[in-house]
Amino acid sequence: MTSAPDRPLRLAIVGAGPAGVYTADLLTKAERDFELSIDLFDRYPAPYGLIRYGVAPDHPRIKGIVKALHKVMDRGDIRFLGDVDFGTDLTLEDLRRHYDAVVFSTGAIRDADLDIPGIGLEGSFGAADFVSWYDGHPDVDREWPLTAKEVAVIGNGNVALDVARMLSKHADDLLVTEIPENVYAGLKASPVTDVHVFGRRGPAQVKFTPLELRELAHSKDVDIVLYPEDFEFDAASEEAAASNNQVKTMVGTLTNWLVEEKDTGASRRLHLHFLQQPVEVLGEDGAVTGLRMERMELDGTGNVKGTGEYTDYPVQAVYRAIGYHGSPVPGLAFDERRGVIPNDAGRVLDGNGTPVPGVYTSGWIKRGPVGLIGHTKGDALETIGCLLEDQSDLWTAEVPDEQSILDLLTERGVRYTTWEGWLKLDAHELSLGAAATESGPVERERVKVVAREEMVDISRAQ
């Protein structure tokens, strides 16, 4: 059916992280011959998704990204409705009644599985869960078992470096960030002395970026430890370093660190290992006691093969940071292997591979957890191109007025939050930072509120 011509087209976007905000923003700026009304839903009381709950608080790019997202939302032409859980508070049928089209931008927040013996032992964690804890996610426990002196982080991407940096960095050096008080207290009490980061391939094949790598060197009282035997380069590695400036920069940085490395007597050490593949998490009495790794060697193409040589590392905790995985969305088909909603250029497909009219997807739940945040813009452009192309084939909402969805949420007892509510919560967190600055040793811009009910109460305060 064709959307009613005498009113704005009503669009719901589920997910208020970068993918959702970029999709809304680009659609408002797209060339079109109709008016548009957009509601942006999120299961959290606050916006920004991954930026608030999936990136280390000392990440250097956070402030710039938040400012860009804030600028979009603060224009007033996109309505934010937070603390609304799709599948519980609203269903796809509800959205069909109130909107002419829906875009799902729900991201990927689960840890990818690592199928090796011992991965389920006490002290073996998914990086995503740890990130949620130190970012003050409202739905995770406030405590984290930081009892290990020696820790292993499996993975060679940005998340692995974030986790390693947060584990090895002294808590007092994180006070300048927005970490919640319980996270500061937990990290302050941590007895950690050594954090080992393991990558399966060589220095020329790492997945992190130069910025994240350089951040490691900024941690006070933390020595970076490298191993000469890990610096193996095959023909593909040398070609990559010669033709790709990013690879050249990272290889150069790591090599310089190796040559210049010295023991400063720091109380903590961050070890970077390459060409090591996890084989088994070792344990005793149900708890982690070590990690068995197999030495790998490059095969000439940049890929690796096993050597049959094994090393056991004594660690008391293991964090796997080998990627994120999407979660099923109620009412839609789901590709469990890839962790995405099946789609064709953003058009959601049913179980038979047929496009579902008026339903679209963008971001990691569309393409998988690959690429940096900036890649989300191009991804969103593809999706909205399809939506605009399909405009004459969308369904027509039965109850399209903007107030009707608010009435439905109120009727169901949903204490939804708004953009105005976020501004109140934002101001409150800034005020907590100002108070902490007055009473503490360092300047604190913000202290994050963690509890969901407290966030909602502050947002909805009259």
- The one-digit pLDDT tens for each residue of the chain (462 residues) are 444 458 999 999 999 999 999 999 999 999 888 899 999 999 999 999 988 998 888 886 777 888 999 999 999 999 999 999 999 999 999 999 999 999 999 998 888 889 999 999 999 999 999 999 999 999 999 999 999 999 999 999 889 999 999 999 999 999 989 999 999 999 999 999 999 999 999 999 988 888 888 888 889 999 999 999 999 898 999 998 899 999 999 999 999 999 887 778 899 999 999 999 999 999 999 999 999 999 999 998 889 999 999 999 999 999 999 988 899 999 999 999 999 999 999 999 999 999 999 999 999 999 988 766 667 788 899 999 999 999 988 989 999 999 999 999 999 999 999 999 999 999 999 999 999 999 988 899 899 999 999 999 999 997
Kindly report the pTM of this predicted structure: 0.92
Does a structural domain hold residue 435?
no
Residue 447 in any domain: the answer is: no
For strands 110-111 and 324-325, give the pairing: antiparallel
* pLDDT recorded at residue 60: 66
From residue 158, alpha-carbon distances to 14, 137, 233, 373, 375 in Å are: 26, 19, 22, 12, 15
Q: Are residues 317 and 339 in the same domain?
A: no
153/246 same-domain check? yes
- The pLDDT of residue 64: 84
Domain finish residue from 303, 321, 339: 321
| C-beta separation of 84 from 416 below 8 A | yes
Cβ contacts of 195 within 8 Å, gap of 6 or more: 151, 152, 153, 164, 167, 168, 268, 269, 270, 271
**Whether residue 115 sits in one domain with residue 97:** no
Which CATH number characterizes residue 119's domain? 3.50.50.60
CA distance 445 to 457: 22
Give yes or no: residues 70 and 124 share one domain: no
Give yes or no: residues 238 and 277 share one domain.
Answer: yes
Residue 451 to residues 140, 142, 448: CA-CA distances in angstroms?
10, 9, 10
- 434 part of a folded domain: no
Rounded CA gap, 133 and 446, in Å? 17
User: What is d(CA 73, CA 24) in angstroms, rounded to the nearest whole number?
Assistant: 9
Instruction: Give the per-residue pLDDT at 263.
Output: 79
140 domain residue, yes or no: yes
The domain that contains 358 carries what CATH number?
3.40.50.720
Does a structural domain hold residue 445?
Answer: no
122 and 85 in a common domain: no
Let me know whether 394 and 281 are in one domain. Answer: no
- For residues 40 and 79, the answer to whether their CB atoms sit within 8 Å is yes
pLDDT of residue 462: 75
Final residue of a domain: which of 263, 287, 321? 321
| Tokens standing for residue 81 | 């409705």
Domain range for residue 178? 111-321
> Which of 272, 306, 321 is the endpoint of a domain?
321
164 and 40 in a single domain? The answer is: no
Classify residue 229: in a domain, yes or no: yes
Q: How would you write the chain as a 3-class SS string?
A: CCCCCCCCEEEEEECCCHHHHHHHHHHHHCCCCCCEEEEEECCCCCCCCHHHHCCCCCCCCHHHHHHHHHHHHCCCCEEEEECCCECCCECHHHHHHHCCEEEECCCCCEECCCCCCCCCCECEEEHHHHHHHHCCCCCCCCCCCCCCCEEEEECCCHHHHHHHHHHHCCHHHHCCCCCCHHHHHHHHCCCCCEEEEECCCCHHHCCCCHHHHHHHCCCCCEEEECCHHHCCCCHHHHHHHHHCHHHHHHHHHHHHHHHHCCCCCCCEEEEEECCEEEEEEEEECCEEEEEEEEEEEECCCCCEEEEEEEEEECCCEEEECCCEECCCCCCCCCECCCCECCEECCEEECCCCCEEEEEEECCHHHHCCCCCCCHHHHHHHHHHHHHHHCHHHCCCCCCCCHHHHHHHHHHCCCCCECHHHHHHHHHHHHHHHHHHHHHCCCCCCCCCCCCHHHHHHHHHCC
CA distance 222 to 418: 42
Residues 271 and 289 in one domain: yes
Whether residues 269 and 386 fall in one domain: no
Query: What is the torsional sign of CA 400, 402, 404, 405?
Result: positive
- Do 149 and 275 sit in the same domain of this protein? yes
Whether the CB-CB separation of 152 and 314 falls below 8 Å is answered with: no
pLDDT at residue number 182:
94
What is the pLDDT, as a whole number, of residue 21?
A: 96
Q: How many domains does the chain have?
A: 2
Q: Are residues 285 and 335 in the same domain?
A: no
In a domain, 460, yes or no: no
